[in-house]
Amino acid sequence: MLEQFSEEKSRALENPRIMGVALFVIDEYGNTLVFQNNQTKEATQKVRGQLTVPAETLEAEERLSKDVLPRTIIEEVGYIHSAKPIQRGIIRMYTPGASIGVICLEIPTTRASVNINPKDFGEVSNPRWVPLADIDNRMMRIGSWDIPLFRSPLKEGAQNILKARAGERFPQIQTVNCVLPAELFKFLKQNPGPVYSVK
C-alpha cells in the first residue's frame, strides 16, 4: 500500500515542513509527461519557464492514494484511465524557505489513456512527452543566470525510476539542495514577460 512506509523511509521524512507528491506519468514508449511552469515561487524555488511533472502538496489529514493522487490527477493532468501508481522513492529537498519531502510516483500508462486537460492550466502550459532518460542537467538562461531546465527534483525522481526498472534496490532516498540566487527572483519580479531561453 502507498500509505505503508518502511522504517527507513519514515526516518527520511521526519518533520518535513511540506509534504508533496510528484507524478511521473509514463507512456508505452518510455516518455514522461511534463509541463512548462507559468509561475514563480521563491519559497519552493519554482521558476517560470522550467519544465515540471504534475505535483501537489499533501494537506493535513489527506491520504496519499485515496485523496492526494486523484486530486493531483484532476488538477494537474486531467484524466488517466485506470491509473495504478508505483512508489519510486522519496526526495528530501531543502530550499531557503522550506524542507520538502517529495514522494515520487510512477504511473505506467498509454498516451491514449491520458486526457490532458488539467484544472490548474493557469499554473502550467505546453504539455509534452519527454524521454525519461532525457531528464538531465540541461540548463536554461534567465538574464545572466543559468538554472536547471528541469525543476528539482525531477532529475532525481527520474533516476529513481530508471534504477528501479534496472533492478536496483528499492526504495531510493535522495537529498537535494535547491538554492537559486535571490537576485534571480528579484529579476523575475521586475520582468514579468518571457525572459528565458533554453541552452
Domain ranges in the chain are 15-191
Instruction: Give residue 169's pLDDT.
Output: 76
Instruction: Give residue 9's pLDDT.
Output: 44
Across 45-123, the runs of DSSP E, i.e. the strands, are 51-52, 55-57, 78-80, 86-94, 99-108, 114-116
The residues near 149 (Cβ < 8 Å, ≥ 6 apart) are 50, 51, 138, 139, 140, 198, 199
Residue 56, strand partner residues: 21
Burial 143-180 (b: 16+ CB within 10 A, else e): eebebbbbbbbbbbbbbbbeebeeeeeebbbbebebeb
Instruction: Give residue 170's pLDDT.
Output: 64
3-class secondary-structure state, position 70: helix
Digit-by-digit pLDDT tens for the chain (199 residues) are 454 444 444 444 444 578 899 999 999 999 999 999 999 988 889 999 999 999 998 888 888 878 899 999 999 999 999 889 999 989 999 888 788 899 999 999 999 999 999 987 788 999 999 999 999 999 999 989 999 999 999 999 999 999 988 888 766 788 898 899 999 999 999 987 766 677 6
The residues near 60 (Cβ < 8 Å, ≥ 6 apart) are none
Instruction: Give residue 6's pLDDT.
Output: 44
CB burial class (10 A; 0-12, 13-18, 19+) of residue 66?
Answer: exposed
- For strand 31-37 and strand 51-52, is the pairing parallel, antiparallel, or unpaired? antiparallel
Reply yes or no on domain 15-191 having CATH 3.10.20.600. Answer: no
Instruction: Please tell me the distance from the alpha carbon of residue 22 to that of residue 106, in angstroms, as a whole number.
Output: 9
Q: What is the pTM of this model?
A: 0.86
